[in-house]
Structure formats: C-alpha cells, structure tokens
Amino acid sequence: MTISELFSEADLEAIKRATAEAERATSGEIVPYLVERIDDHAEARWRTATIGALVAALTAGAVHAFVGFWSGYGVAWITLPVLAGAGLGYLIGGAGPVTRWLMPDDALDVMALRRAEARLAERADGTDIPRAEAARARARARIGAAARPSAGA
C-alpha cells in the first residue's frame, strides 16, 4: 500500500506543515514514519475469543432450548461450540478495525510510542539505514567538518 492510497494530498500537506512547525521548536529533524501495524494486539484477540466463546455457548443453549436438538454426547455438544467460537473470535480479533475498536486509546498510544522508540533505536545503531541515505549522511558530515575551523586556527 502506498502513501497516496492512505492519505489525500490535503492530508500530506497537513503532515508537512505540522512536521515543519514542530521542527522549528527543536534542533532535531522529525521524520514521520508510517507502519502498517504497531503490534499484534494479543489482548484484542483474547477479548474476541472470549466474546466468541460466550456467543457460541449461548447459541448452542438457544438451539437446544428452542429446537430440542442435543446431538451426540452432552460434553461434545457443550464443548465444541465454545471451542469453535473462541477460535473464530481469536481470528476475527486480528483484523485491524476490530482491534482498534476493542483496544483502549491509551493502550494504542503506549504501543505506538514503543514502536516509534524501537524504530528510532534501530536506525540509531545503523542497522536499517539504506545505503543512499547513509551516503548522504556521510557527505553532510564531511561538508560540516570542512566548514568548521580547525583547532589550530
């Protein structure tokens, strides 16, 4: 997925303006970084698994109460719908919109901050800097070093 598919021109311009404004207040350079997902959100998966298990158990009970259907062994009829509902709920919990709906905003904010800090640390130790970007950084360092007066001058 490309940036233009995610953001309109107006959105991109707003991001540029906000970034430039924030950079004026600091000596650092701000680089907006977009990730598809900040975390696997296991908490959301387990919440949907619980909801799925409860819905399946209630559905199985309703089918038995209204239709009188109680197939096979009672333990299997009680256990299998709950397990199937929990499994289906767990899978559904991995979907982005469901995850964002189930996760509290403060938890998402903390996860986003942790992901940004981890990405910054990756780039700081040079493990993920593309060659062209590294070459530009080295060139800027040489230009900066040449522009500084020497210690003996």
The model's pLDDT over 124-144, given as tens digits with 9 standing for 90+, comes to 555 555 555 555 555 555 554
Residue 62 has pLDDT above 90, yes or no: no
43 pLDDT higher than 50: yes
The gap from C-alpha 113 to its chain's centroid, in whole angstroms, comes to 10
Q: Distance (Å, rounded) from C-alpha 32 to C-alpha 18? A: 10
Sign of torsion over alpha carbons 79, 80, 86, 90: positive
Q: What is the mean pLDDT of residues 25-39?
A: 74
Q: Is 60 exposed, middle or buried (0-12, 13-18, 19+ CB in 10 A)?
A: buried
* CA terminus-to-terminus distance, the chain: 54
Determine the pLDDT at residue 33. Answer: 72
pTM of the full structure: 0.52
